[in-house]
Amino acid sequence: MDHVATMRRCYELLNAGDFDGFADYLADDLVEHETSPGIEPTKEGVVQFFTSYRAAFPDLRFEPEDFITEGDKIVARGRLSGTFTGEFLGMSPTGRSFDVEIIDIVRFGDDGRALEHWGLSDVMTMMQQLGVVPAPDEAPA
């Protein structure tokens, strides 16, 4: 299986807002290790997560930069960006944009579908760029 091609396709589908197409690459018993408040760590939860992100950031964009594969796992390093124009986690939109680094690790099954996902993103920098958390140089002394 070409896990790099699969990951590229998944990012393309997410960028296009095609969550049904993206879900086709997820195993029904997917385990999501990157938790989010109020989101179940399941296939359905992952789709719910991206649906809420797209609503808050309609121009949400994943840009993969590097891939490392080992057996049934792949590591993808890249960037995530978007503009905050819809409600997000109870916060009102600021109209500001973010651009942060991300890392995704996915374990695939023999059928080419994702069985597990671990993810890291620079959420603090994202919140600072969106103007919902003060940046270090903006924080009161």
State the distance between the two ends of the chain, measured CA to CA, in whole angstroms: 54
Which is nearest to 26 in space by CA: 45, 39, 12, 5?
Answer: 45
pLDDT at 135: 80
Domains of the chain, earliest start first: 3-84+93-130 (3.10.450.50)
What angle is formed at CA 114 by the lines to CA 123 and CA 63, rounded to 5 degrees? 45
Alpha helices, H only, the chain: 3-16, 19-23, 43-56, 123-130
Q: Which structure tokens are listed for 7?
A: 């990951």
What φ, ψ does residue 138 adopt, rounded to 5°?
-100, -15
Residue with tokens 């018993």: 29
80 touches 64 (CB < 8 A): no
What is the predicted pLDDT for the residue at 139? 59
pTM: 0.91
pLDDT one digit per residue (tens) for the chain, 141 residues: 899 999 999 999 999 999 999 999 999 999 999 988 889 999 999 999 999 999 999 999 999 999 999 999 999 999 999 999 999 888 899 999 999 999 999 999 999 999 999 999 999 999 999 999 888 876 565
